[in-house]
A and B are shown apart, each in its own frame.
Chain A
Amino acid sequence: MRKVYTRPRLLKRVPFHYCPGCGHSVVHRVMTELIDEMNLGDRIIGIPPPGCSVFAYHYFDVDMAESAHGRGAAVATGIKRAFPEAIVFTYQGDGDLAAIGTAETIHAANRGERITAIFINNAVYGMTGGQMAPTTLSDQVTTTTPYGRDTKIEGYPIRMSEIVALIRGAVYIERTAVNSPANIRKTKKAIRKAFQAQIDDLGFSLVEILSPCPTNWRMTPLESWQWIDKVMTKEFPLGVIKDITGKNDAD
């Protein structure tokens, strides 16, 4: 009999604390599998954020350190500059990367830091109880937009990946989702390309992942998968947003 599915070697044997149907756990699985496949386990350093994924270091069997909210890109910059042999990734929520950490993200990208940002867009602040995120959709109800996000008052869902794509130091940006087996496979492929851009010393890479938060969306896991397709991807279209890894320089 051939074994076709097994626990990734770099995923610690600890039960996840995530809610059923949460996208974080899927991304963890995919990433630990990939890190092992790419043979990066002994030189990768990960920086998880304050957010639902704050305990990511209990699951990834690689070196990891805590970061202040939103500062992942700056911490990763310090790591990479002091220890260029490392492969460095940040793992950040939408509040973390696209609100409080916007400046750090944009400037790390602009310096072309050889780091990779894994950006979990679940359109809410999961950890703090479902408040509005910068990526919250128009009319979406959250605990701080109880009448739905009114773009006149609360502004628009921010397309961070498109913004970062304008920056010359960013070389690979893709938006994926983890709401179907096919999309999960694409997510893994995108992260592989992002890591490869870093390994090849090309510049900043970012993978934005539309990720279900059934708890705060008040949906079943299945409904949340469908909502990503029907609603989220309309605002945040999937696909490669920028890829200049084939060019000679990051310009």
Chain B
Amino acid sequence: MSGNSTIGEAAIRAGCQCYFGYPITPQNELTEYMAAHLGRKKGCSFIQAESEIAAINMVYGASLVGARAMTSSSSPGISLKQEGISYLAACELPAVIVNMSRGGPGLGSISASQSDYFQATRGGGHGDYRTIVLAPSSGQELADLTHRAFDLADKYQIPVIILGDGMLGQMMEPVEFKHEAPEELPIRGNALRGAKGRPSRIIKTFTSKPTELEEINWSLFRRYQLIRKEETAFETFLVEDAKLIVVAFGIAARIAKGAIKNARTNGMRVGMLRPVTLWPFPSEKVKELAKRTRHFLVFEMNMGQMIEDVQLALEGKGEVSFYGRPGGVIPTPSEVLRVVSRLYHQKGLESGK
């Protein structure tokens, strides 16, 4: 099953009731999957919207009334959704937004890229907000993290972004779905359902009192702190004895893993840290690893974005190198192996214990 279809199936099994999207390569199979499998399902709705702006605002509407709602796009379309994501974050509304990102800036290219890391992890739209950002690196993880995205969105009443890329979306892999679609989901307690038997309800942020907005921001911040504490996720690979740790996410981590396996057969003690949540970023784990390992190689399919989070986490306590391919170029494991080997030798890591 293609990665894009996997997300669709996993979303339906997570109880997604509404999907609104606008075509853009390389994520069209997801929109098409939802048209075929969600559109005619009882109590569900699919709309091919007139724009990404409309799509995200439809998601906002569906979320207002308590539905599990999702939209998906790729980089240029995600730029258009930012205003809507800011409103979702501000109004504390759950939603799942998938970005199967592609080469940028501008119209860029349709091939896989990781150049939307900043946009995804820094909020993206206006205002002081965060979104949870999940970065799957395999078909199975696309399924698992899509399910998790809906749960996290509801648990913390926050928009959750799944940051994949064009390659993950197109790849055909066997997947096991661990959940059946729920018969019926409970309606969120604070949803707008009409003021029947209760006082009328308002969902908004706009206020003429700055202190009121300040309190909204504080309340969001407290929730973000809780998410940092509870939900940070990562995978480590052969880090125990590593002299060099590659830090990579998503599809780049998959490529790096191949390179690391080869490096190990060549006697190089190389490991990997793969953030699964890009926000919250596993800073504590980076710090902990730096107690044993001095050298880090950040590998991304961009000109260096996540590297800033690694450097921030290290607080100067490790040496960070970078290798990146921007613009939608997909590096090979052997290319990454060459970079790893060169660095390993340059830093003199083969000598000593």
Contact = CB atoms under 8 A, between A and B. Distances in A.
A82 B61 contact: yes
Contacts of B195: 41-42, 61-63
Interface string B198-211: 00111111100000
Interface string A160-204: 000000000000000000000000000000000000000000000
Contacts of A82: 17-18, 45, 61-62, 65-67, 69
Contact of A79 (B53, B62, B204, B206): B62
B58 A65 contact: no
Nearest to A88: B61
Contacts of B55: 74
A188 to B, nearest CB: 21
Interface of B: 17-18, 20, 45, 47, 49-51, 53-55, 57-67, 69, 83-84, 87, 91, 192-197, 200-206
B194 A66 contact: no
Contacts of A44: 194
26 contacts: A42-B195, A42-B197, A43-B194, A43-B196, A45-B65, A54-B206, A57-B202, A57-B204, A61-B195, A62-B195, A63-B202, A64-B203, A65-B204, A66-B203, A74-B53, A74-B61, A75-B57, A75-B64, A77-B54, A78-B58, A78-B61, A78-B62, A78-B69, A79-B61, A86-B193, A103-B53
B54 A104 contact: yes
A34 interface: no
A177 B62 CA distance: 32
B54 A107 contact: yes
Interface in A98-124: 103-104, 106-107, 111
Contacts of A75: 57-58, 60-61, 64
A71 B57 contact: yes
A42 B61 contact: no
A72 to B, nearest CB: 8
A62 B273 CA distance: 51
Q: Which of B17, B49, B57 has the most CB of A within 10 A?
A: B57
A50 interface: yes
A83 interface: yes
Contacts of B84: 68, 71
A67 B53 CA distance: 12
A76 interface: yes
A13 interface: no
B51 A103 contact: yes
A41 B201 CA distance: 12
Contact of A103 (B54, B83, B193, B197): B54
Q: Which of A43, A58, A75, A106 has the most CB of B within 10 A?
A: A75
A122 B45 CA distance: 35
B57 A74 contact: yes
Contacts of A43: 194, 196
B54 A71 contact: yes
Nearest to B202: A57
A128 to B, nearest CB: 14
Contacts of B57: 67-68, 71, 74-75, 78, 104
A61 B205 CA distance: 18
Q: Which of A58, A66, A80, A111 has the most CB of B within 10 A?
A: A66
Contacts of B203: 64-66
A218 interface: no
Nearest to B84: A68
Contact of B18 (A58, A63, A78, A85): A78
Contacts of B54: 71, 74, 77, 103-104, 107
A62 B203 CA distance: 11
B193 to A, nearest CB: 7
